[in-house]
Chain A
Amino acid sequence: MISIHNISKVFNAGRPNEVTAVGGVSLDVRMEQTTILKGPSGSGKTTLLGLIGCMARPSAGRIFLKQREITSLPERFLTDIRRTTFGFIFQQCNLIKGITALENVMLPAYPTGEKFSTLRGRAQATLAMLGVEKRAEAKIEWLSGGEAQRVAVARALINNPAVIIADEPTAHLDTKLSLEFIGIMRELKSRGTTIIIASHDPIICESWLAEQVVELRDGRIVAGATMS
């Protein structure tokens, strides 16, 4: 379980443009389930996802991953957790242009020093699982929106993470592709992957995927949070 205790994130602290993106949020994310963070733009969904995924440190509060407090861990441990526990799917896909889909998928595993042939084989298998194996050697800029989204999912899966974190994954997808994305998430969930999605897209929020829906507004939870 990922347990969040009263965390806050303040940007530009002490300056005139100080913003409290997340203020005193407490939440339990159950493993092997899907949690949806729902709310309008600026409600703090992306910031909360970043905090859960160790991409940023909270200004206050604590986060526990399997009963271990991770908030105060040094940078290199956070990186290790990010690499081994979480797989990220970003709103803009955030794939690196100029290199192939396959190289993009392998990217998170480069620092692990895994043997190239093993890594390449796993990346190809992941792309095949998502139905884009034929586009493995294509450069990112040549892919359609749906293909790029699948490559981004494949990249998130390459290190076999226990938790998938997705930020507005359907924001730039049409209905058909959004439904395809939900299908992929269902497949992952059936394999025991924990999924956390930040979205205000009704296709996601109202789908059967949503086991726990947490509603945020102005950086605070207004509905749906459970705490152990």
Chain B
Amino acid sequence: MAHMIERHRHIIDFTLATLLRRKGKNGGLLLVYTLIIFVLASVLFFTEAIRREAMLVLQESPEIIVQRTQAGRYQTVPMSWCAGIGSINGVGSAQPRLWGYHYDRTRLANYTFMVPAQDPPGAGHVDLGGAVARMLGAATGDTVAFQGHDGAPRAFTVRKVLEQESQLLTADLVLISEQDYRLFSGVPADQATDLVLQVRNPREYATIVEKITRMHHDARPILRSEILRTYDAVFSWRSGLMLVIFSAATLAFLIFAWDKATGLSAEERAEIGILKAVGWDTSDILLLKFWEGTAISLTAFLAGTILAYLHVFHTSASLFAPVLKGWSTLYPSFRLPPLLDFQQVVTLFILTVVPYTITTIVPSWRAATIDPDAVMR
């Protein structure tokens, strides 16, 4: 056993010496390999994080939203609609929602103001989303001011800063009381932004939608499935682009692996011959090449994965964002919440480290199984 450990130690020592004496070649190899893993891992992490965000958004959305349009433009909904729509058979409840966007000229940022259905802040208080709090430099108990619809600044005390699982839901959010919202936005007391309906039986959706549109011709009911389709279309398009990047990186990796697999340099072959001639067995050569491949591929894998993690979750995939994230052009920016899926990491490992190690060993195995004098000739 001690002999076996010592044998491995000697061979690993020699592997490191071998790698170091070809610094330029191995450094270049490591760089290219790390870059490929970085792109592959970034794509995997990013698509998964975006998909998760979308899922969380949809979980929160109501079954049916009722909006009002006039000449194709959204208008506020009269509160009086609640009673009528709420009385339709199959509708569990019809609740008005008050929400809207606010453009902060001084910071060139868009915020979403909303009156929450549960636990709204008291008058003169607001809850801030993480990104809004960061932008305003505000913490719980601080006072923040926003310019209302009439141009007058309105001050609020921060009740709390929202820390939620999904930043997409809360990053730009300002939660406010109904009274303050109406004063701030100018929405009259008999109007709401839209209505949200709870429907118990999904098979009744179509009937309910039909009844609503018959009741109010200017109503526009939106089903959760329609939102789902829109999200799906948006994320599919983004996934498609990611797939292109993923395919390019995979292709680069395959070319790279093929290049490794197709042969050894004359110098490498001669060295294998020398090692065999001086008493190394085929298994010793394979062990050497295994450690060589493992050292390079593991280093590249770890470096590429860590860089990809930092890129996606700490710089919000800044390299991909301009093409892939619509909201990356919005301000305040949000960060994808860190998420590391073990299965994804294992898949990436199997797809990159294993083939590389095999492609390193195969040509060496071919050379190592030939008589040493033939390899050296």
Across the A-B interface, how many residue pairs have beta carbons closer than 8 Å?
94
Do residues B282 and A75 form an inter-chain contact, with CB atoms below 8 A? yes
Render A168-194 as a binary contact track against B, CB cut-off 8 A, 1 for contact. 000000000000000000000000000
Query: Any chain A CB within 8 A of the CB of B214?
Result: no
Distance from A122 Cβ to chain B, minimum over Cβ atoms (Å): 14
> Number of residues in A with C-beta < 8 Å to the partner?
36
Do residues A50 and B373 form an inter-chain contact, with CB atoms below 8 A? yes
Interface residue SS majority, chain B: helix
Q: Which residues of B contact A80 (CB under 8 A)?
A: 281
Known: A98-B21, A98-B22. A116 touches B281 (CB 8 A): no
Interface residue SS majority, chain A: helix
Q: Which residues of B contact A113 (CB under 8 A)?
A: 2-7, 10
Query: Any chain A CB within 8 A of the CB of B56?
Result: no
Contact of B14 among A55, A94, A107, A115 (CB under 8 A): A107
Q: Which residues of A contact B369 (CB under 8 A)?
A: 75
Query: Any chain B CB within 8 A of the CB of A146?
Result: no
Which residue of the partner chain A has the closest CB to B370? A56
> Number of residues in B with C-beta < 8 Å to the partner?
34
Q: Which residues of B contact A88 (CB under 8 A)?
A: 277-278
Query: Any chain A CB within 8 A of the CB of B134?
Result: no
Do residues B7 and A94 form an inter-chain contact, with CB atoms below 8 A? no
Do residues B371 and A111 form an inter-chain contact, with CB atoms below 8 A? no
Do residues B279 and A82 form an inter-chain contact, with CB atoms below 8 A? yes
Do residues A111 and B9 form an inter-chain contact, with CB atoms below 8 A? no
Query: Any chain A CB within 8 A of the CB of B121?
Result: no
Mark out the residues of chain A between 69 and 122 whose CB falls within 8 Å of any chain B CB in the assembled complex.
75-76, 79-80, 82-84, 88, 90, 94, 96-99, 103, 106-116, 119
Q: Which residues of A contact B376 (CB under 8 A)?
A: 90, 94
**Could you list which residues of chain B lie within 8 angstroms of chain A, going by C-beta atoms?**
2-7, 9-11, 14, 17-18, 20-22, 270-271, 274-284, 369, 371-374, 376
**Could you list which residues of chain A lie within 8 angstroms of chain B, going by C-beta atoms?**
46-47, 50, 53, 55-57, 75-76, 79-80, 82-84, 88, 90, 94, 96-99, 103, 106-116, 119, 155, 159
